[in-house]
């Protein structure tokens, strides 16, 4: 009888643990499915985005960097949604010439700010909390400076409003990646391993960078071989707009709240060099760092989300 009681208690404890784990899992992941949306921007380019629908709060809009896409932020979208208890919609968009968005010869930051506005409007929102990484960070800055009324606040990740003569090693490396992609004859290949080996031969030896780039490799339905999803012809030819911060005219400084979050191991943002450039156009800017490289949201996702959530009350 005593043995049975012990077994019963053990079984009861295990059952309670399973229920607690199940409840924890539900609290973390029991959120709406990610929805997909197609938006037509001002110039007719179709912009793709994904979202986790939430409450009536001001939405969060994530914007990826060069050669990225909206799915880069999918897990972080869920984390933000969970921590904010679903009080707002969380969106991630594909920039033009990336992901599932349309291709266009116009890849200026002025035009991409129009894309941001179109996406927000399509979700029935007139303003958003914009979080942009790298080129997405420049798009965020451009939107804040050109259309301040639609940016409730901005979080710019590991990038600065640099001009050509301030280009870093990281920017030059990004240029080289684009050239390597163009020089890799993926249209003659139908084996992913062969493409990976060719990228190594071309000098792209870093495995994590190759994995990131290979997310752009898709099948060409007409030939059966591969092609790049991103519009390399435009991205490589419009280097001044991809790798520097260039806007039409002289915009008025953004008077809203802006957090510049950078990686201490990254070459893309150096506080001593870039803070004066930032303050010239974002006078209310604050700065924070994570012990990470350029991809700090991938290296430190929990800390990154914590900064996103805290920015609502601390900025």
Please state the pTM of the whole predicted model: 0.87
> Contact 238/230 with Cβ under 8 angstroms?
no
25, 28, 77, 23: which is closest to 53 by C-alpha? 77
d(CA 256, CA 242): 25
Q: Is-catalytic flag, 294?
A: yes
Alpha carbons 311 and 308: distance in angstroms, whole number: 5
Each of the 315 residues of the chain gets a pLDDT tens digit; together they read 343 443 334 333 433 443 433 333 344 445 678 999 999 999 999 999 999 999 999 999 999 999 999 999 999 999 999 999 999 999 999 999 999 999 999 999 999 999 999 999 999 999 999 999 999 999 999 999 999 999 999 999 999 998 644 556 666 778 889 999 999 999 999 999 999 999 999 999 889 899 999 999 999 999 999 999 999 999 988 654 687 788 888 889 999 999 999 999 998 999 999 999 999 999 999 999 999 999 999 999 999 999 998 876 544
SS3 60: strand
| Beta partners for residue 36, in sequence order | 50
CA distances for 238 relative to 119, 208, 233, 235, 299, angstroms: 23, 25, 9, 5, 29
The number of residues in the chain equals: 315
Q: Which of 43, 87, 220, 233 is catalytic?
A: 233
User: 63: which residues sit within 8 A by CB, 6+ positions away?
Assistant: 92, 93, 95, 116, 130, 131, 132, 133, 136, 137, 139, 140
Per DSSP, what are the bridge partners of residue 130?
61, 154
Rounded-to-integer distance, Cα 167 and Cα 138, Å: 14
Tell me the C-alpha distance between 227 and 188, whole Å: 9
Nearest CA to 236 out of 165, 164, 195, 183 is that of 183
* Phi, psi for 205 (deg, rounded to 5): -90, -20
Q: Would you call 233 a catalytic residue per the annotation?
A: yes
Q: Which of 51, 70, 134, 266 is catalytic?
A: 134
Among 48, 171, 294, 297, the active-site one is: 294
């Amino acid at each position: 009888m005593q043995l049975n009681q012990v077994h019963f208690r053990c079984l009861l404890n295990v059952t309670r643990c399973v229920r607690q784990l199940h409840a924890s899992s539900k609290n973390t992941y029991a959120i709406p499915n990610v929805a997909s949306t197609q938006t037509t921007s001002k110039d007719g380019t179709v912009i793709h985005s994904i979202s986790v629908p939430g409450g009536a709060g001001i939405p969060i809009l994530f914007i990826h960097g060069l050669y990225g896409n909206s799915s880069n932020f999918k897990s972080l979208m869920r984390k933000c949604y969970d921590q904010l208890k679903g009080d707002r919609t969380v969106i991630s968009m594909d920039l033009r010439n990336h992901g599932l968005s349309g291709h266009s010869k116009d890849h200026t930051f002025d035009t991409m700010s129009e894309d941001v506005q179109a996406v927000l409007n399509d979700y029935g929102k007139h303003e958003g909390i914009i979080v942009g990484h790298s080129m997405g960070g420049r798009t965020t800055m451009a939107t804040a400076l050109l259309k301040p009324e639609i940016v409730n606040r901005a979080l710019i990740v590991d990038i600065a409003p640099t001009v050509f003569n301030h280009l870093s090693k990281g920017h030059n490396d990004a240029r080289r990646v684009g050239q390597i992609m163009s020089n890799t004859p993926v249209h003659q290949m139908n084996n992913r391993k062969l493409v990976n080996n060719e990228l190594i031969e071309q000098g792209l030896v870093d495995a994590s960078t190759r994995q990131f780039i290979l997310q752009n490799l898709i099948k060409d339905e007409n030939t059966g071989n591969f092609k790049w999803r991103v519009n390399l012809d435009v991205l490589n030819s419009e280097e001044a707009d991809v790798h520097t911060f260039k806007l039409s005219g002289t915009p008025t400084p953004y008077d809203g709240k802006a957090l510049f979050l950078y990686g201490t191991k990254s070459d893309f943002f150096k506080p001593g060099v870039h803070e004066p450039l930032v303050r010239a156009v974002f006078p209310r800017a604050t700065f924070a760092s994570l012990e990470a490289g350029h991809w700090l949201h991938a290296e430190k996702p929990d800390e990154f989300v914590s900064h996103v959530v805290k920015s609502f009350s601390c900025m």
